[in-house]
Amino acid sequence: MKHGYLFGVALAGIFACGQLAMAQSVIVSPTPLFQQTFTTGMVGFTTNQTARLNVLNLNAVNTAMPTLANCTVGLQFFDGQNNSLKTTVISNFAPQTAVLLDLKRTEVTSSTGSRTEIRGVVVINPTPAAAGAAATGFCNVMTTLEIIDDLTGGTVALTSDTRGIGAPFAMPLSTVAPR
């Protein structure tokens, strides 16, 4: 009975020390932990309309702790044949702020006729080549795609339904340093 009790106490002590050691380390690398890609469904837009891909960074603003690297996002539009129509990369995307990418119907030259089908794509922590030397970090985003009437400025269609493309891509950590 004594041996079992001592073994349990020793095991709990080892576990507690391991947890304390993990709590004492912080990631100092700008290398992202995950790369995720989300897409909207296809929407149609026509003459005198603009598609707007809106992204909101849902991360909380934390004033009690030093700010870690803000997230980097890539915003893209694709047509129905998966041709890239317009792309931008936003670095240092601050918590509780929003960014957008507009695409006017006149900018789409891959489609014949006045109506074309498009979708919006958001990449969290795009590859370093796409992001340049920008700092990256974890971010949680909310995405909407709206179609705006250029003549009135009113929203004609809106969707916030997105789906993940593939699985989150784990990227290796380069440095873990003690606090």
56 within domain boundaries: yes
**73 and 122 in contact (C-beta within 8 Å)?**
yes
Question: Global pTM?
Answer: 0.71
Specify the pairing of strand 49-57 against strand 176-178: unpaired
Question: How many domains is the chain partitioned into structurally?
Answer: 1
Mean pLDDT of 25-43: 68
Measure the CA angle with vertex 132, ends 129 and 135; round to 5°: 115
Q: What is the pLDDT of residues 44-78, one digit of tens each?
A: 999 999 999 999 999 888 777 655 557 899 999 99
Q: Which of 20-29, 66-75, 169-178 has the highest mean pLDDT?
A: 66-75
pLDDT at residue number 159: 95
172 within domain boundaries: no
Q: What CATH number does residue 160 fall under?
A: 2.60.120
| Mean confidence (pLDDT) of the chain | 78
179 within domain boundaries: no
- Domain of 107 in residue numbering reads as 31-165
Tokens found for residue 139: 């971010």
pLDDT at residue number 132: 52
80 within domain boundaries: yes
pLDDT at residue number 35: 84
145 within domain boundaries: yes
90 versus 139: the higher-pLDDT residue is: 90
